[in-house]
Amino acid sequence: MSDAVLLPPNLLENFETACACLQTDRLGLLLDFDGTLSEFVPVLENAVIYPDVVQPLRQLTDRLALVGVMSGRSARDVERRVGIEGVVYVGNHGAEQIADGTLNVAKGVEEAEFYLQGMLESLAGAADDPGLVLENKRFSASLHYRRAADETGVVERLRAAVKSMPDLGSFELFWGNKILEIRRRNGVNKGVALGRLMRDWHLGSVIFLGDDTTDADALQVLSERKASGAVDGLGVAVMQDGTPASVLESADYSLNGVAEVAKFLSRLDDAIG
């Protein structure tokens, strides 16, 4: 996280002022999963929803026009980890969506899985560290180096490997918080998905919470829609060790980690209820 970036004001300290503009009758709440609803864990598969967010999130799902969880994980994976009926689950950075139990996939992403696995294995070989975790999610893929024995060396070797790729073709690579993501170059991201949800659920106000690079796409779209007068809303950066500058620059407010997310959800539920 860059010291030159001005930190957004804390949302809990400014709760009444921040929420005064929201239209609660058509309010949508969208949240990232890892680092927002779940603490980071050394083993990716061990991530669980933070216990204190479950009850307020369940109650908000009953009270708001829309509650959605948007993740880089597959939609079915994040659905299993959150497990709240009525939530809309958006996975693979916007390529998948589950609403009312039905999974829909964006056009043009189905053929990516075979090529993603080859790219993952090639990059892992170049990085050469036993702590790397490879994750092929069919429509996107991730290389996690949070457990790397030599994190600095891994990043250097990965950057060199990426530069040596002459033509990524229909894929794009981008860096997050101790993660390298590979995504199909199909124009789908969390910002596009957020715009779709605003349209399909006729939202008048939106709250979005996220902590990492792919969340900046959604924060930027929300900022643009607010500036145009299309919606009211709050873009919230969830502060973690390594929060990217792009998230801070696009957010209106901040929360210090998952525990403050839980406190905010409880206060929001109390205010609406």
Nearest-10 Cα torsion for 211, 209, 194, 188: 10
- Indicate whether 21 pLDDT > 80: yes
Where along the chain do the CATH 3.30.70.1020 domains lie?
A: 110-184
Helices assigned H by DSSP within the chain: 15-19, 51-63, 75-82, 113-127, 151-163, 190-200, 213-228, 245-250, 257-272
DSSP-assigned letter for residue 65: S
Give the 3-state secondary structure of residue 240. Answer: coil
Which residue would you say has higher pLDDT here, 94 or 39? 39
Query: CATH number of the domain at 12-17+24-105+188-272, out of 3.40.50.1950, 3.60.15.10, 3.40.50.1000, 2.10.210.10?
Result: 3.40.50.1000
Residue 3 binned pLDDT confidence (cut-offs 50, 70, 90): low
Nearest C-alpha neighbor of 92 from the set 192, 24, 240, 23: 192
For residue 98, the model assigns a pLDDT of 97
The partner residues of 103 in beta bridges, in order of sequence, read 98
Give the 3-state secondary structure of residue 272. Answer: helix
pTM of the model: 0.81
Of the CA atoms within 13 Å of residue 241, those in its CB half-sphere come to: 5
CATH of the domain spanning 110-184 = 3.30.70.1020
**62-94 residue pLDDT tens:** 999 999 999 989 999 999 999 999 999 999 888
Say which residue the tokens 């990232």 belong to: 32
- Indicate whether 108 pLDDT > 70: no
Q: How far apart are CA 40 and CA 245, in angstroms?
A: 19
- Indicate whether 123 pLDDT > 70: yes
Which residue would you say has higher pLDDT here, 213 or 273? 213
For residue 170, the model assigns a pLDDT of 73
Q: How far apart are CA 209 and CA 215, in angstroms?
A: 8
Where along the chain do the CATH 3.40.50.1000 domains lie?
A: 12-17+24-105+188-272
Mean pLDDT of 244-248: 92
Nearest-10 Cα torsion for 109, 110, 116, 118: -140
Residue 1 binned pLDDT confidence (cut-offs 50, 70, 90): very low
Percent of the chain with pLDDT over 70: 94
- Indicate whether 185 pLDDT > 80: no
Residue 113 binned pLDDT confidence (cut-offs 50, 70, 90): low
Residue 163 binned pLDDT confidence (cut-offs 50, 70, 90): confident
For residue 154, the model assigns a pLDDT of 87
Helix axes 113-127, 151-163, angle to 10 degrees: 130
For residue 2, the model assigns a pLDDT of 42
For residue 187, give every residue at least 6 positions away whose Cβ sits within 8 Å of its Cβ, in sequence order, or none.
none
For residue 103, the model assigns a pLDDT of 94
**86-102 residue pLDDT tens:** 999 999 888 899 999 99
- Indicate whether 51 pLDDT > 80: yes
Judge contact between 216 and 244, C-beta under 8 A.
Answer: yes
For residue 129, the model assigns a pLDDT of 86
DSSP symbols for 193-213: HHHHHHHHTT-SEEEEEE-SH
